[in-house]
């Protein structure tokens, strides 16, 4: 139950039902953002946009999809960020400019947005929202370049930080990923149709085959008419640093991310966790849903039986009317309910994916104890989270990350666990097949190490 | 039942409940546009925007108004135009640019939008909608000027056509009107509060006093903090040409427009119509609501009794489910119902404000005859409408205006009236107190004469 | 601006689009109730019901009407009453009972509801709402009768008070009116189609011809299959006492009510008012919309010019967000706006249909004075309202009716008019063509006289 | 993925926030029905009802809950059944009758509804819906009994079939369960507050302690004022036959049902399934979510590793826009996605709770094969479902139950599994601790055996 990701993207070209397939793709990516959704489609008449706050299933009606004709589309599902005019921050963004209509949506976060924006404003540009997508569109539009494609390259060269983006124009669907490849972006096909998605689970739903990732620093251009798909690497080559947290928490377990099975990685994390932090116990219990795979791995390695000692209510929606009176642990219990008959009298290994502020972990430990657990041994399937993310994940400021100001012992006391064990960074690297040596390998572990691949300007 | 206006604007400064008063102002201006509504307010923290499709009463909830804090606000109510992404065309528009946040809404239509837009796009600017409001904001932002105020002047000097606009910035509320003053813009106060409105009926509702109009070519700056209200006339002086159709049809009869009572002007139109086009008849019947005042004038002058021989159903909303089977004259009858007992056997003078395509007039005449009228003498309280408007009124193309291709006799036959009389242009001038001679007087009569004060570029 | 009526009913049989025509009928009757609407239709499969709170146009969508198939339907539009489960009080009511499915809606109010209800409850019956419609349905179902038709007769014989009702069964559409005929119920046709409506304006919209009223005490049975329309008079013959207030205020002016033109009656009321209560004045001004016809009559008789010195905003809906700060006369001004230029310096005759509590009248007089009127002479187109209604009109309790506890002079002072004149009862009778003598003539004037044709039990 | 249950009930007494706690209770019971929800509360002024179609979180707003005051409430969440006026079928039902206001909601299905209803109609009663709840209320109201309590007893004695019901009156909250106890009904407390719920997971959320079940044939009366809770057994004693399917599929795994842990029972089913139907395989994969516990048991017993080879998208809501073109296995894939990297090349044991028509099982097997599984061995955690349910579960007619017309071998072929194994009835009894011998023990296994404890009349 950690950080919140900022979005999922899906795009498709040469598909008669482009907007409907994009709708389905976003449906499969709904876990990446529940605040807003949008689709921009293109036909011979231009681009068509529909976006609004809400779940994908609520934002799009039959009528809304019918108003998004054409054989190419891009879409976005978005997590809430604080403040501002929320409605105006939904993606995709669509501009009318010197390249005609251009639409863009992205997953990630530029680290030099404010610098770029200030410069663009000084040059006379205006913005309708604080979104860095608008900054990218402005850079494209004002690039000293004759073609849209070169203009995109120019813009991407100025952008720093994390971006996995999709651009739809009157002529092409373009996908691009920042040089470090912080955020995922997969590419697939079915017949002549080409698609891009934050995760492969969206391909599974629409019956497409995953081919490969858009590579860090790569720009893939899919012409909307005739013509070959073109790949370019116009950005400086640096060591790739894809976000490891996608594997720890964000991605759906049935997805391949960076070409690896999320579920397999998580199970391996649990297994190594059991090796490093064994404990005598009766039951391995995951915090659902994100701790499940690691808990299975822990159970397998340790031989301690696994069971769902905590059940999640999947009907909990975005809105909920709180009782006026105080109900003990209500905030946690509305989502999670301990199974007393499994837990009573047991020594429990409680497996979660991560600890952020520590307050939720504390409540869950309390809840498990109230349900009768004799001992609660907390195991976390990643290293202590000590630093904020600047590459597209909505983390608290550093001073609110419990591991940034408390020792392991203090955290153990705070969350009221009998013992607490985190996965070692070394082990995490092992799980990710990362030997930390050769060029091209490696992941971004900045939230554990503070070693930021790109220094944040803003 | 003629053309449709494109909007109403209301703005206010130095008012603790600025957004609520703007809401009320828009409520009173609802007749000027039912498609969308929006308010932008400003407090010490910046500008806050809420806009959506629908009636004012539907767009704004208590919560929406609470999210629009501050002591200054501008608002807009909008008529639908065809095509495009309707949602993105609602006013006000809000940009972040070199002058910080700037919001703008306007009533009117620039006649050189396409020229300006093409130039701005060539210079690297981008737009999110086809609205000319965005063009104005771009001109402001890119003006070679050090202050927002000078930038506005620069922008207005480039704009041609019709605009009565309100601008809200972090420092001021600015009102401006094009040099011809095509569209109305009134100014009022209550204590220290200053307000602007398309019509004075909005001042009546919020308890403000009408002081004067923003004059053609004038720019009024109301500083949001301390400081005097400043008036400038930065635009070239030309003969004022306010739209006479506001008095004929658009404005609410209880409003003062251009400082004149709409109701008084309409009654006078009816009176002169009776003088020029007398007829022996039993009853003067208005097409409600727009023909009522003229019909009263006709009755007074002619001595023929006045009565509501047609009743309007005021509960007719924007949506209506049509019967599948054919009901005679259904389209007209859903709004208007003839009163058989008044009309049966009578020679009726039917007074309407104008004839556009002629098809509705034909149906109304038929309806009145079916209700038993022996004779139907149609009297129109303006001259034949022969030309399209380019200054903010949604008129059909010239070739669809019946008076542009039919003679009086032919129109009489088409609408199946026994006789038909239009108000003479000369008489209309008289009603408006316009002697057609001195500078500074005069109105825009282009829809009757084709004499366009500003040549349309687009 | 007086009492509020409780509903409008419309029913139709032998019409392929029965529910759509009923929708249209209710649309035309919307002024009789804006709180809730409902339609029950019948086809070979049984009866189908849809009802909900809201305007007719909001309650019914295309899908809702498509789910109401069949060639017979009844519908209802309802005014709010205080308290209780509002949703459950919408009409029509539909029961499954010994005569199969039976649906009923009505306009009016039984005066012995509580007695009947108590008896039925004692006999083991249950109710889902406080509605007297349910009582009628229970009486029908429990009648000692072999046929539904006889059961209805039995029920009606037990019911006291006011009812104009429509019943839809699997076999017939039945219309009935209480012996006094308190509330209106018109009957019309088009080809083989038969329809019933509270007012004839609904017939006008759907293209039907008004034939006659369902007579007081009459029951009309329209068989849904083959068979003649049957008329019965199963109820005791008493002197008819239709509600005169329909003509004074409720009905649309374009309707015939009790076979008489509402507009003609109102104009006559104004004329006689001018004869009895003349005054030297400059302008006759109606309180719109209900005072318009009477004001025209007053003007005609007195020779004093008529004009719309007060304009009504027809966009005022059911909900309205009030300003937090005090705006003078806000509650009245949101609907009504005085036209300063017409009123300033004038001696005004202000014509309204009635005075209930006096508080609104006082505010309107104040508003007219603030707009500059030199004198305000109030003229009321009916006698002083001194008694509550028990026959279907939502009136305040007697002690809140200003005319029940104040003299004419006191009321004049309270509403701050210079003079005040009410229409005499005698003159009202004259307007209604009621010589007060022969049997069969006469109206219910109980709200002016306290002579209740049926004593209220409850 | 089998039958659908028809509802969940929750009631509470002596709780200041009765309606809010009921809302929370229904929230926890949302899995038992997503079609409609309702709450009836009681305070000194009477009973208050709100019910509508939709999820609990959508049906109830703060305002709706504020309009449900009082310290006692009952609530219901309902599954859709086909046909009829859906809106009118939402629970609770509220009547005004000889015992004042009485509200009722229930889980279950009377098997003699039509008989009772026909009799009641013959006696003059009427109904507003086809619901058997209305029949129960009518029986109560018409009972020859002086007290509400005796009337309830009288009604229950006439009712046959399955009912776990809650009644709220002006004086008491009453819970009752049919003599066989087909459907669950638990009882709990917190301080002076007493509550009833279909499942104990609702008690967990509101912080109450589960005490015991309302016993088969028991009626528990909680006086709303002072007074002891009273228990009566007014119904004939028969052998209890609680529905075993609650443990197989319906109930949340964290609930106690009939005092037993659902999760423990399911795990045991999986374990015995492994004993009876072993197979050489590489992976045990549940059909989520209902097959998870049994799959864990199967894995534990067999030693074959468990993993989530199929992932469920929990964001799938009630509405979903289908693609127009054909996507292979789309209907299943929108909810369930196979994890290719886990399944590829594996011999898979696929564990589901039951097979109804067989069509969904077939699609899941296909999907798992397409994901690369080498062998698919289906294991079902209950016996073959050969008979329909008449006690409150929405099952297809017998002829659509695949096990009613196909042999094991044929079903294996139909679903395209390599092998197929069902749990033996004997083993199911063992899991439920049912020795099938002593009186008072036993469960309803009719859907597997056709031995109906109560013969259906209707």
Q: Which residue of D has its CA nearest to C84?
A: D48
pLDDT tens column, D88-125: 678 999 999 999 999 999 999 999 999 999 999 999 99
Which run of H or E residues covers position C230?
strand C230-232
- pLDDT of A82: 41
Which run of H or E residues covers position D292?
helix D292-302
Determine the 3-state secondary structure of C286 from DSSP.
strand
Complex confidence, ipTM:
0.91
Residue C320 has pLDDT above 80, yes or no: no
- Number of alpha carbons in the 13 Å side-chain half-sphere of residue D232: 16
- pLDDT of B439: 44
Q: Which residue of D has its CA nearest to C94?
A: D128
Cβ–Cβ gap A96/B122 under 8 Å: no
Q: Please report residues of C whose CB lies closer than 8 A to that of D95.
A: 126-128
- pLDDT of D244: 95
Cβ–Cβ gap C94/D49 under 8 Å: no
Q: How far is CA A243 from CA A7, A113, A249, A426, in A?
A: 14, 20, 11, 16
- pLDDT of A442: 87
Q: Which residue of B has its CA nearest to C253?
A: B311
Q: Please report residues of C whose CB lies closer than 8 A to that of D127.
A: 95-97
Residues of chain B that touch chain A, judged by Cβ-Cβ distance less than 8 Å:
48-49, 85, 88, 93-98, 121-130, 137-138, 141-142
Q: Which residues contact B58 (CB under 8 A, 6 or more apart)?
A: none
Per-residue pLDDT band at B83 (split at 50, 70, 90)? very low
- pLDDT of D455: 83
Tokens of B45: 């923290």
Please tell me which residue, A455 or A283, carries the higher pLDDT value.
A283
CA distance B113 to B135: 7
Per-residue pLDDT averaged across D202-226, rounded? 95
Of C88, C122, C141, the CB nearest to D126: C141
**Angle, vertex CA B129, rays to CA B127 and CA B135, nearest 5:** 55
- pLDDT of A83: 38
Cβ–Cβ gap A127/B95 under 8 Å: yes
Per-residue pLDDT band at B364 (split at 50, 70, 90)? very high
Tokens of A40: 């921009």
Residue B2 has pLDDT above 60, yes or no: no
CA distance C218 to C174: 10
Cβ atoms of residues C195 and C206 within 8 Å: yes
Per-chain mean pLDDT for chain D: 91
CA distance D333 to D344: 17
Please tell me which residue, D134 or A457, carries the higher pLDDT value.
D134
Give residue A54's region: left, alpha or beta (phi > 0; psi -120 to 50): left
Q: Please report residues of C whose CB lies closer than 8 A to that of B317.
A: 55, 57
pLDDT tens column, B37-61: 999 999 988 999 999 888 899 899 9
Tokens of A323: 């009782």
Per-chain mean pLDDT for chain A: 91
- pLDDT of A326: 72
Percent of chain A residues past pLDDT 90, beyond the cut: 79
Residues of chain A that touch chain B, judged by Cβ-Cβ distance less than 8 Å:
48-49, 85, 88, 93-98, 121-130, 137-138, 141-142
Interface test with B, best of C23, C34, C210, C315 (most B CBs within 10 A): C315
The active-site residue out of C7, C13, C201, C431 is C7
Q: How far is CA A88 from CA A127, A133, A458, B49, B343, in A?
A: 11, 12, 22, 10, 55
- As a whole number of angstroms, the longest Cα–Cα distance in chain A is 72
User: What beta strand segments (E) does A324-444 contain?
Assistant: 336-338, 347-352, 375-380, 393-394, 419-422
Nearest to A84 by CA among A134, A118, A158, A47: A134
pLDDT tens column, C396-429: 888 899 999 999 999 999 999 999 999 999 999 9
Please tell me which residue, D86 or D156, carries the higher pLDDT value.
D156
**Angle, vertex CA D266, rays to CA D261 and CA D269, nearest 5:** 130
Q: Please report residues of C whose CB lies closer than 8 A to that of B289.
A: 314
Residue D201 is labelled as binding a ligand: no
Expressed in angstroms, the distance from the first to the final Cα of chain B is 27
Domains of chain A (ranges plus CATH)? 7-238 (3.60.20.10), 257-449 (3.40.50.2020)
CA distance D351 to D378: 6
Interface test with C, best of B63, B203, B311 (most C CBs within 10 A): B311
Q: Are strands D172-177 and D219-223 parallel, antiparallel or unpaired?
A: antiparallel
DSSP secondary structure letter of residue A444:
B
Percent of chain C residues past pLDDT 90, beyond the cut: 78
Which run of H or E residues covers position B104?
strand B100-110
Cβ–Cβ gap A206/D16 under 8 Å: no
Cβ–Cβ gap D24/A323 under 8 Å: yes
pLDDT tens column, C20-74: 999 999 999 999 988 899 999 999 889 999 998 888 998 999 999 999 999 999 9
CA distance D290 to chain A (A): 12
Per-residue pLDDT averaged across B138-151, rounded? 95
Per-residue pLDDT band at D83 (split at 50, 70, 90)? very low
Cβ atoms of residues C187 and C209 within 8 Å: no
User: What beta strand segments (E) does D191-346 contain?
Assistant: 193-197, 209-213, 219-223, 230-232, 256-257, 260-261, 283-286, 310-312, 336-338
Specify binding-site residues of C for [4Fe-4S] cluster.
243, 389, 444, 447
- pLDDT of D79: 78
Specify binding-site residues of A for Mg(2+).
290, 352-353
The active-site residue out of A7, A13, A382, A431 is A7
- pLDDT of D334: 86
Tell me, yes or no, if C7 is annotated catalytic: yes
Per-residue pLDDT band at C317 (split at 50, 70, 90)? low
CB burial readout C297-324, b (16+ within 10 A) else e: bbbbbbebbbbbbbbbbbbbeeeebebe
CA distance A98 to chain B (A): 5
Q: Please report residues of D whose CB lies closer than 8 A to that of A24.
A: 323, 327, 334
Residue C454 has pLDDT above 70, yes or no: yes
pTM over 0.95: no
Of C31, C60, C328, the CB nearest to B321: C60
The residues of D annotated with a catalytic role in the active site are 7
Q: Which residue of D has its CA nearest to A26?
A: D315
Determine the 3-state secondary structure of A47 from DSSP.
strand
- pLDDT of D437: 55
pLDDT tens column, A180-236: 999 999 999 999 999 999 999 999 999 999 999 999 999 999 999 989 999 999 999
Tokens of A30: 């709904």
Of B293, B311, B321, the CB nearest to C252: B311
pLDDT tens column, A394-414: 778 888 999 999 999 999 999
Cβ–Cβ gap A85/B125 under 8 Å: no
Burial class of residue A226, CB neighbours in 10 A (0-12, 13-18, 19+): exposed
Interface test with D, best of A254, A296, A326, A366 (most D CBs within 10 A): A254
Interface test with D, best of C128, C131, C140 (most D CBs within 10 A): C128
CA distance B379 to D269: 89
Residue D329 is labelled as binding a ligand: no
Residue A130 has pLDDT above 90, yes or no: no
């Amino acid at each position: 139950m950690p950080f919140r990701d900022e979005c999922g993207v899906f795009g498709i070209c040469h598909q008669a039902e482009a907007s409907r397939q994009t709708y389905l793709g976003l449906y499969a990516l709904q876990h990446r953002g529940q605040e807003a959704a949008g689709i921009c489609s293109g036909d011979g008449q231009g681009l068509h946009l529909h976006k609004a706050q809400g779940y994908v299933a609520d934002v799009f009606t039959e009528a809304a999809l019918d108003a998004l004709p054409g054989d190419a589309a891009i879409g976005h599902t978005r997590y809430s960020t604080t403040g501002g005019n929320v409605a105006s921050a939904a993606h995709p963004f669509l501009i009318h400019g010197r390249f005609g209509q251009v639409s863009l949506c992205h997953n990630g976060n530029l680290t030099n947005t404010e610098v770029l924006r200030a410069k663009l404003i000084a040059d006379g540009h205006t913005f309708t929202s604080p979104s860095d997508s608008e900054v990218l569109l402005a850079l494209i539009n004002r690039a000293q370049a004759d073609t849209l494609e070169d203009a995109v390259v120019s813009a991407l060269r100025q952008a720093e930080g994390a971006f996995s983006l999709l651009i739809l124009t009157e002529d092409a669907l373009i996908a691009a990923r920042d040089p470090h490849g912080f955020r995922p972006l997969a590419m697939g096909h079915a017949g002549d149709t080409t698609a891009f998605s934050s995760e492969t689970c969206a391909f599974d739903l629409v019956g497409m085959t995953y081919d490969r990732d858009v590579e860090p620093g790569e720009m893939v251009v899919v012409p909307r008419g005739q013509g070959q798909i073109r790949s370019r690497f116009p950005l400086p080559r640096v060591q790739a640093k894809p976000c490891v947290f996608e594997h720890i928490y964000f991605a759906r377990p049935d997805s391949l991310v960076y070409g690896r099975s999320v579920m397999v990685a998580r199970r391996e994390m649990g297994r190594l966790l059991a090796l490093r932090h064994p404990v005598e116990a009766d039951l391995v219990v995951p915090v659902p849903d994100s701790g499940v795979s690691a808990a299975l791995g822990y159970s397998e390695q340790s031989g301690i039986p696994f069971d769902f000692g905590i059940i999640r209510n999947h009907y909990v929606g975005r809105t909920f009317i709180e009782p006026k009176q105080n109900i003990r642990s209500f905030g946690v219990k509305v989502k999670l309910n301990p199974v007393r008959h499994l837990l009573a009298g047991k020594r429990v290994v409680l497996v979660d994916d991560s600890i952020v502020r520590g307050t939720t972990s504390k409540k869950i430990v309390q809840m498990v104890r109230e349900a009768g657990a004799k001992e609660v041994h907390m195991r976390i399937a990643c290293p202590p989270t000590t630093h904020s993310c600047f590459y597209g994940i909505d983390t608290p400021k550093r001073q609110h990350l419990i591991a940034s100001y408390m020792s392991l012992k203090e955290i153990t006391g705070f969350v009221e666990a009998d013992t607490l064990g985190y996965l070692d960074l070394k082990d995490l690297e092992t799980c990710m097949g990362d030997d930390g040596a050769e060029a091209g390998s490696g992941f971004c572990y900045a939230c554990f190490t503070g070693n930021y691949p790109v220094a944040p300007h803003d």
